[in-house]
Chain A
Amino acid sequence: EAGVTQFPSHSVIEKGQTVTLRCDPISGHDNLYWYRRVMGKEIKFLLHFVKESKQDESGMPNNRFLAERTGGTYSTLKVQPAELEDSGVYFCASSQDPSGRFETQYFGPGTRLLVL
């Protein structure tokens, strides 16, 4: 079974440009999460999809960030326009069912974003 995949693995862009990150969850997983680790600090939650619906987007830093999950399969996270403080590692995770306490989230390898 394929794991969570993310593309690209690395991205270097200039301030003001746009970048789109993609996440493909494990097949059959309705729940998809985005997290971010900035400057070696803690990994922080960004948002949670259940199928194509945004269940919780309380962690989205500002309106420069737009996440979509059309059709409830893969998800994209767009940053427009990118700022220096957006640099970091963006992780995607998926899980089958968040309703129970024993749900395990499976993470992808992350996308390393550097904004110059």
Chain B
Amino acid sequence: GDSVTQMEGPVTLSEEAFLTINCTYTATGYPSLFWYVQYPGEGLQLLLKATKADDKGSNKGFEATYRKETTSFHLEKGSVQVSDSAVYFCALRGAGKLIFGQGTTLQVKP
């Protein structure tokens, strides 16, 4: 069945460091791909999405490119801030429902 695998955390970075969170997927067909973020004490928020191969989703300085050849959707940000500390979830949409990875906790230190 469809599945999503994320790099394990926690990831600890200093402010202004470069961020990469790896995400790979297994799916039949060409699913839409998403990154959701959960800030402390809040619900899941859609961060960005891509709906077809080579699409780049971007938001708040974060980017991810839908790579069909490597079945990946890695999340990147050039310079993280303390306020980016959160749990990040990669997901694909299959048959209506979302299938999530296990989540990656990011902690950014000043």
Interface residues of A (CB under 8 A from B): 3-4, 6, 31, 33, 35, 37, 40-45, 48, 55-56, 59, 91, 93, 98, 101-110
- Are A109 and B42 also in contact (CB < 8 A) when A43-B103, A102-B32, A104-B49 are? yes
Range of interface residues on B (Cβ < 8 Å)? 20 to 34
For the residues of B in contact with A, the DSSP-based class is strand
A103–B100 CA distance with the chains assembled, in angstroms: 16
- Are A42 and B4 also in contact (CB < 8 A) when A108-B43, A109-B43, A110-B43 are? yes
**Which among A40, A105, A110 is the interface contact of B98 at CB below 8 angstroms?**
A105
Report whether A104 and B46 are in contact in the complex, using a CB–CB cutoff of 8 Å.
Answer: yes
- Are A4 and B99 also in contact (CB < 8 A) when A101-B32, A101-B51 are? no
A109–B38 CA distance with the chains assembled, in angstroms: 9
Chain B 72-103, CB within 8 Å of chain A: the 1/0 string? 00000000000000000101010111111111
A40–B101 CA distance with the chains assembled, in angstroms: 11
Chain B 31-72, CB within 8 Å of chain A: the 1/0 string? 010001000011111100101000000000000000000000
Cβ of B93 to closest chain A Cβ, rounded Å:
7
A44–B99 CA distance with the chains assembled, in angstroms: 7
Interface residues of B (CB under 8 A from A): 4, 32, 36, 41-46, 49, 51, 89, 91, 93, 95-103
Interchain residue pairs with CB less than 8 A apart (22)? A3-B43, A6-B43, A35-B100, A37-B103, A41-B102, A42-B4, A42-B102, A43-B44, A45-B97, A48-B96, A91-B43, A93-B44, A101-B51, A101-B93, A102-B51, A103-B93, A104-B46, A104-B49, A106-B46, A107-B36, A107-B45, A109-B43
Cβ of A35 to closest chain B Cβ, rounded Å:
7
